[in-house]
Amino acid sequence: MRRPRMAAVLCTAALLCAAWVQAEDWGRYAVDGRRSGYTYAAAETRAMQDDEFDNPGSLWLARGAELWQTAEGQAGKSCASCHQEAAASMRGVGARYPVFAPELGRLVNVEQRINQCRREHMGAAPWATESEPLLAMTAYVKHQSLDLPVNPAIDGPAAPFFARGRHIYHTRRGQLDLACIHCHEMNHGNMLRAQRLSEGMSNGFPAYRLKWQTLASLQRRMEGCMRDVRAEPYADGAEEYVDLELYLAWRARGLPVETPAVRN
Ligand code: HEC
Ligand code: HEC
C-alpha cells in the first residue's frame, strides 16, 4: 500500500508525471547533463525535425545536393569533381569544425571552408553570408555528419582561439549588460518573454527557425542574441564569431549533429 501512495504524492497529476518521466530520458540528446536545444523544444517542433518530409530544412538539403553536382567558375569544376560522394568525403566535417587553418593562421568554419574551395579550387566567386546557396551547401555538408557526436579540437594551434571564444562567451555586453552565460548557463529552462531558454547549443545549425521562416546560420542566431541584449553585433564574418563557434562546439561536445534542426 505504501508504494502506490508515494507514487500518488509524487505524481499528483498524470500530466506532471508524464513531463517528469520524459525529462529524465532524452537519450542521445543529453550527454553528461548537457542538453541539446531539441530537449527544450515543443513536442510538435521535435516531431517536425524528426520527419524528413515535414522538416522544412530538407528543401535546403536537396538544393545543396544539386549544387554539389553543379560545375561553376573558371576551372569548370563542381564540388563532386574533387570530393566525389559527399556521404563519404564530408562525413565527420560537421562534427569537427571549426578547425585551425595553418595557411590562414586562424580558425575556419564550414561556410568559410566552402568559400575557400570556391575561390581557390573552382575560380568561382564566394557565396555571400546567409545567401541561399551558402546555407544550402553548409547544411548539406554538415548533414553528412548527422548523429555523429560533436568533437572539435581545442588544443594545439586551436587553443588560443578557443580561449578567446570562452572569454567572449563570459563577457557582458549591451544595454542589458548580459553575457551568454547569464541566459544559457544560469537560466536555461526559464522563460524569457515567450521563449524557453535552452543551453544555447550549436549542434543543430544551420537550423530552420519557425519564427524567421527560413534556415539560419549560427552567426545569424548569435547576432539575434546580441541584439536581444541591445548590443551591436560583430561585423559580418568577424573572427570573434568563429572563435565563439569553437567554444560552442566544445560546449556541445558529445551531442549529436542535428543539422538541419527545427527551432522556434
Ligand atoms: C538575454 C538572453 C540571451 C543571451 C544573453 C544570449 N542568448 Fe542565445 N538565445 C536566447 C534565446 C531566447 C534563444 C532561443 C531559445 C533558446 O534556444 O534558448 C537563444 C538561442 C541561442 C542558440 C540556439 C540554440 C538552439 O538549440 O537552437 C544559440 C547557439 C545561442 N543562443 C547562442 C548564444 C551566444 C553565443 C550568446 C552570447 C553571445 C547568447 N546566445 C546570448 C537568449 C539569449
Ligand atoms: C579542384 C578540387 C576541389 C573542388 C572543385 C572543391 N574542393 Fe573542397 N577541397 C579541395 C582540397 C584540395 C581540399 C583540402 C583537402 C585537405 O585539407 O585534405 C578541400 C577541402 C574541403 C573541405 C574541408 C574538408 C575537411 O575534411 O576538412 C570542405 C568542407 C570542402 N572542401 C568543401 C567543398 C565544397 C562544398 C565544394 C564545392 C562548392 C568544394 N569543396 C570544391 C579541393 C576541391
Q: Show me where the domains of the chain are located.
A: 55-264
Residue among 34, 40, 169, 183 whose CB has most ligand 1 atoms within 8 A, to mutate: 183
43 is written with which cell numbers? 513536442
Which atom of ligand 1 has the smallest separation from the CA of 179? 5
What is the rounded distance in angstroms from the CA atom of residue 173 to the CA atom of residue 160?
A: 22
Residue among 74, 83, 114 whose CB has most ligand 2 atoms within 8 A, to mutate: 83
178 CB within 6 A, ligand 2: no
Amino acid at 126: P
255 CB within 6 A, ligand 1: no
Q: Fill in the DSSP letter of residue 178.
A: B
Q: What is the pLDDT along the chain (264 residues), one digit of tens a residue?
A: 344 443 343 444 444 444 554 555 899 999 999 999 999 999 999 999 999 999 999 999 999 999 999 999 999 999 999 999 999 999 999 999 999 999 999 999 999 999 999 999 999 999 999 999 999 999 999 999 999 999 999 999 999 999 999 999 999 999 999 999 999 999 999 999 889 999 999 999 999 999 999 999 999 999 999 999 999 999 999 999 999 999 999 999 999 999 999 999
List Cβ neighbours of 142 (8 Å cut-off, separation of 6 or more). Answer: 93, 94, 110, 205, 206, 257, 259
Tally of CB atoms within 10 A around 63: 18
Residues pairing with 28 in the sheet: none
What is the rounded distance in angstroms from the CA atom of residue 243 to the CA atom of residue 255?
A: 19
User: Whose CA is closest to atom 19 on ligand 2?
Assistant: 117
For the entire predicted model, the pTM comes to 0.93
What is the rounded distance in angstroms from the CA atom of residue 166 to the CA atom of residue 245?
A: 10
Q: Which CATH number fits domain 55-264: 1.10.760.10, 3.40.50.2300, 3.30.110.30, 3.40.50.300?
A: 1.10.760.10
Please, what is the angle between helix 239-251 and helix 218-228, to 10°?
A: 100
